[in-house]
A and B are shown apart, each in its own frame.
Chain A
């Protein structure tokens, strides 16, 4: 799984970036991708002992449109704040600390990145199950603490069963 997966990804990348489809370049690609995949196949797929990788992938793809929508909202909200004449009265920045129920590395990574991408919140530090998040005002902090996004990420990486 590790070797072939890395090889396929690298080879698709090679074809897109080279843009040539003659035998010479394609075979060069096979050779070099095989060497690189052999050398680094344990980097990309570190913990694929997990079951249901396909379901997780499909759920992740379903999660993406919601995330892109959130990114656009984030941009509009920060733009609104930046251009507002009485901006310093509107914002109320804080670093908030809360405990997360997520445990696996990929879900922590996705949750951290999603927090950074959504309106007015940036992940500062993830430490021993605690998230340190910088929020730009009270409203977005409340929105984050409803746990909606955490539940979505937990659903994607199948951590919502057998919890508590």
Chain B
């Protein structure tokens, strides 16, 4: 169990690390939010699960899992709120063909 929890925490740290690298390397605001929003959610989930496993079955690990659930719910909402703020105030996304918004529709097979 000890080793498993260390593996989980290592995986979480790796995702945090790559999220930071992505944040530095991606070209514009929107793509950077991809890096921070995704990798940090995953990193937090992994490290918190690892810590909960490290503690074994106790009240403390239950609390840690509650924090994980909170992160799971709030992180996408926060990402969405920041992005929406940027979109409403007219931040143009970095695109290759210069069109920012494309109209599409769902194609079902």
A interface, CB within 8 angstroms of B: 16-17, 19, 71-72, 74-75, 78-79, 81-83, 87-88, 91-101, 112-113, 116-117, 120, 122-125, 132, 134, 136, 141, 145-147, 150
Contact between chains at B39 and A122 (CB < 8 Å):
no
B interface, CB within 8 angstroms of A: 14-15, 18-19, 21-22, 25-28, 30-31, 33-35, 37-39, 41-43, 45, 59, 62-63, 66, 73, 76-77, 79-80, 83-84, 87-88, 93-96, 99-109
Contact between chains at A78 and B39 (CB < 8 Å):
yes
SS of B interface (majority): helix
Known: A78-B35, A116-B37, A132-B101. A124 touches B87 (CB 8 A): yes
Known: A82-B26, A112-B80. A93 touches B93 (CB 8 A): yes
Q: Which one, A75, A79, A136, A147, contacts B31 given CB within 8 A?
A: A136
Give 16 A-B contacts (CB < 8 Å), ordered by A residue. Answer: A75-B38, A78-B18, A88-B27, A94-B100, A94-B102, A95-B93, A97-B102, A117-B41, A120-B34, A122-B30, A122-B79, A124-B80, A124-B83, A124-B87, A125-B84, A125-B87
Contact between chains at B84 and A95 (CB < 8 Å):
no
A-B contacts at CB below 8 angstroms, number: 138
Most chain-A CB neighbours within 10 Å: which of B19, B25, B42, B73?
A: B42
Known: A98-B106, A113-B77, A125-B84. A82 touches B94 (CB 8 A): no
Q: How far is the CB of A134 from chain B (nearest CB, A)?
A: 5
Q: How far is the CB of B107 from chain A (nearest CB, A)?
A: 6
Write out the residue numbers on chain B whose beta carbons fall within 8 Å of the beta carbon of A141: 104
Q: Which one, A71, A82, A112, contacts B21 given CB within 8 A?
A: A82
Q: How far is the CB of A60 from chain B (nearest CB, A)?
A: 13
Residue of B nearest to A121 (CB): B34
Contact between chains at A79 and B96 (CB < 8 Å):
no
A129 to B15, CA, bound (A): 34
A141 to B21, CA, bound (A): 24
Residue of A nearest to B36 (CB): A78
A78 to B26, CA, bound (A): 11
CB-based closest 7 A-B pairs = A82-B22, A75-B42, A116-B76, A79-B18, A147-B106, A78-B38, A113-B76
Contact between chains at A122 and B34 (CB < 8 Å):
yes
Known: A16-B59, A72-B42, A134-B83. A91 touches B100 (CB 8 A): no
Write out the residue numbers on chain A whose beta carbons fall within 8 Å of the beta carbon of B101: 94-97, 132
